[in-house]
Amino acid sequence: MNLNFSQEEITFQNEVREFLDKELTTELVNTAKRTSAVFTEKDVAMEWQSKLANKGWLVPSWPEEYGGTDWNDTQKYIFSSECANAGAPNLIPMGLAMIGPLLLGKGTQEQKDYYIPRIINGEDYWCQGYSEPGAGSDLASLQCKAVREGDKYIINGTKIWTTHAHLANKIFCLVRTDSSGRKQEGITFLMMDMDQPGVKVEPILTMAQDHDFNQVVFTDAIALVKDRIGEENEGWAVAKYLLEFERGGGVGGSKSLSDIEFIKKLVDKISSQHKDTSFVDLYSTKINELEISAKAIQYTSLRILSSLRSGDSPGPESSMMKTLVTDLEQEISELTLEVIGYYGMPFQDTSFGTNEPAIGDEDYRSIAGKYQNLRATTIYGGSNEIQRNIMAKAVLGL
Ligand SMILES: Cc1cc2nc3c(=O)[nH]c(=O)nc-3n(C[C@H](O)[C@H](O)[C@H](O)COP(=O)(O)OP(=O)(O)OC[C@H]3O[C@@H](n4cnc5c(N)ncnc54)[C@H](O)[C@@H]3O)c2cc1C
């Protein structure tokens, strides 16, 4: 078996590298690296998004008529690995990895024609209104209510943990339109404006003091019937379709490999500062183990990507990807924190534009905050316990 790239693939890799050399500025890389928040700051993510969109490389897996590429799986892998190696900021997923693929798969022609270009050019910035104070893992228990009046729905209720709701102009929501049947029935999927009198956004800070998410309260908020995806009362199937993309629609593992490279650099730096090579020996087995897991994830995600090409959604295997990727991210952040020892202890502000000098070393600044915030990855998008339940039922047939 030949695992080397062909000449054509090497040419493509060089083209990607040239683009990254030109467009991915040191400032973008450093700002993305400095933050400890789970999601990239909006300004940074949108600057990078616009550069990728101009090049036509923002949504490689989408159909070409909606801005996608004709890349094969190896090219997608090369692109995502090169971006991760170069330290490109993560893009914000709510538009590009959630509502976008959902619209392409289940939206009306009118919805696609209107919303898809606005997602790509950044005119619309989306947030996700699924969870409620009494409905997280048990999402189908949601109570936020919508009542139809002519060509509108009137919405009352509360959503919680709504990432970037304070920055978004659009929200997609699950609402209850009928309470008479099973809880999975009577749910409807709606898109609506955030900028309207019936929507109030209340901030919630993470334990690392970042403002990522919010509580959103609807009081007679309005959504148009034409902004419903799927039929009324049949939103549960729509919601699950979107979650498959949220949990595993891209090439995983590349970012982890680049984070592992960062640990190696830290270990080398600290060992040479202390003139103690035993420090390298101490960590090499742990680092190798993480690297093997990251590579395994890469191959698994490529397998899922090839099924996507035939027009499928990622399927319940996306639960496997979500669990593997997030468990690994947490292990990596734990080892990174362990490596820097007591330099992880001081609170180092990582907010955008901070000009306080770092304590110890600039590289240490965001490590403790990242470690704390990454605890969230095994919770959001459906907790990993829930993913294991899905795998047991839908993949293993238990
Ligand atoms: C950083 C972050 C960002 C988020 N962003 C968004 C967003 O933008 N939009 C949005 O709608 N939501 C968002 N969420 C919410 C997220 O989807 C929920 O937190 C998640 O679904 C879990 O729900 P919960 O918090 O109510 O916990 P609970 O459902 O109360 O679960 C508590 C614990 O019990 C376990 N548990 C529950 N039921 C079972 C079961 N049946 N079997 C085994 N274990 C079980 C869970 O795994 C968990 O450990 C975000 C969450 C975080 C942390």
Please give the distance, rounded to the nearest whole angstrom, from the Cα atom of residue 195 to the centre of ligand 1: 27
Residues 219 and 272 in one domain: no
Q: Using CA positions, which residue lies closest to atom 1 of ligand 1? A: 376
CA dist 6 and 255 (Å) reads: 23
Please give the distance, rounded to the nearest whole angstrom, from the Cα atom of residue 385 to the centre of ligand 1: 10
Torsional sign, CA 153, 157, 158, 159: negative
Would you say residue 200 has pLDDT above 60? yes
How do 152-160 and 145-149 pair as beta strands? Answer: antiparallel
Give how far Cα 217 sits from Cα of 53, 159, 354, Å. Answer: 33, 6, 31
How would DSSP label each residue in 196-247? STTEEEEEE--TTS---EEEEEEEEEEEEGGGEES-TTBHHHHHHHHHHHHH
Residues 129 and 194 in one domain: yes
Condensed to tens digits (0 to 9), the pLDDT of residues 361-383 reads: 888 888 998 898 899 889 988 89
Residues 195 and 287 in one domain: no
- Tell me, what CATH number does 172's domain have? 2.40.110.10
The CA dihedral of 84, 20, 74, 388, to the nearest 10 degrees, is 20
Ranked by mean pLDDT, the top range of 2-6, 301-305, 334-338 is 334-338
pLDDT, residue 136, reads 93
pLDDT, residue 361, reads 84
Confidence category of residue 313, pLDDT binned at 50, 70, 90: low
CA dist 341 and 334 (Å) reads: 11
Task: Using a pLDDT cut of 70, give the percent of the chain over it.
Answer: 94
Give the structural domain span for 307: 249-395
Examine residue 242 and state whether it is found in any structural domain, yes or no: no
CA dist 42 and 20 (Å) reads: 20
Residues 367 and 279 in one domain: yes
pLDDT, residue 328, reads 95
Examine residue 244 and state whether it is found in any structural domain, yes or no: no
Condensed to tens digits (0 to 9), the pLDDT of residues 237-267 reads: 999 888 877 666 566 778 899 899 999 999 9
Residues 142 and 210 in one domain: yes
pLDDT, residue 222, reads 98
Residues 260 and 351 in one domain: yes
Examine residue 13 and state whether it is found in any structural domain, yes or no: yes
Six-digit token pair at 340? 């820097």
Q: What does the pLDDT average to over 300-323?
A: 72
Confidence category of residue 352, pLDDT binned at 50, 70, 90: low
Confidence category of residue 356, pLDDT binned at 50, 70, 90: confident
Confidence category of residue 19, pLDDT binned at 50, 70, 90: very high
Please give the distance, rounded to the nearest whole angstrom, from the Cα atom of residue 383 to the centre of ligand 1: 5
Please give the distance, rounded to the nearest whole angstrom, from the Cα atom of residue 132 to the centre of ligand 1: 10
CA dist 317 and 326 (Å) reads: 14
316 lines ligand 1 (CB under 6 A): no
CA dist 245 and 222 (Å) reads: 27
Q: What does the pLDDT average to over 83-107?
A: 94
Six-digit token pair at 191? 């898109």
Residues 258 and 177 in one domain: no
Q: Using CA positions, which residue lies closest to atom 53 of ligand 1? A: 376
CA dist 126 and 96 (Å) reads: 9
Q: What does the pLDDT average to over 3-24?
A: 92
Q: What does the pLDDT average to over 39-53?
A: 94
Q: 37: exposed, middle or buried (C-beta count within 10 Å: 0-12, 13-18, 19+)? A: buried
- Tell me, what CATH number does 260's domain have? 1.20.140.10
379 lines ligand 1 (CB under 6 A): yes
Examine residue 98 and state whether it is found in any structural domain, yes or no: no
Residues 132 and 217 in one domain: yes
pTM above 0.85, yes or no: yes
Residues 307, 314: contact at Cβ < 8 Å?
Answer: yes
Please give the distance, rounded to the nearest whole angstrom, from the Cα atom of residue 78 to the centre of ligand 1: 33
pLDDT, residue 147, reads 98
Residues 263 and 354 in one domain: yes
Q: How many domains does the chain have?
A: 3
HEC profile of 104-171? HHHCCHHHHHHHHHHHHCCCCCEEEECCECCECCCHHHCCCEEEEECCEEEEEEEEECCCCCCCCCEE
Task: Using a pLDDT cut of 90, give the percent of the chain over it.
Answer: 64
The CA dihedral of 246, 45, 38, 391, to the nearest 10 degrees, is 10
How do 170-176 and 152-160 pair as beta strands? Answer: unpaired
Residues 374 and 280 in one domain: yes
Residues 28 and 58 in one domain: yes
Examine residue 240 and state whether it is found in any structural domain, yes or no: no
Examine residue 2 and state whether it is found in any structural domain, yes or no: no
Q: What does the pLDDT average to over 38-65?
A: 94
Examine residue 100 and state whether it is found in any structural domain, yes or no: no
CA dist 247 and 244 (Å) reads: 5
391 lines ligand 1 (CB under 6 A): no
Q: Which of 146-160, 175-189, 231-245 has the lowest mean pLDDT?
A: 231-245
Please give the distance, rounded to the nearest whole angstrom, from the Cα atom of residue 379 to the centre of ligand 1: 5
Residues 265 and 359 in one domain: yes
Using only C-alpha atoms, the chain has a radius of gyration, in whole angstroms, of 22
Q: What does the pLDDT average to over 85-113?
A: 95
Best of 40, 99, 131 for a ligand 1 pocket test (most atoms within 8 Å of beta carbon): 131
Examine residue 196 and state whether it is found in any structural domain, yes or no: yes
213 lines ligand 1 (CB under 6 A): yes
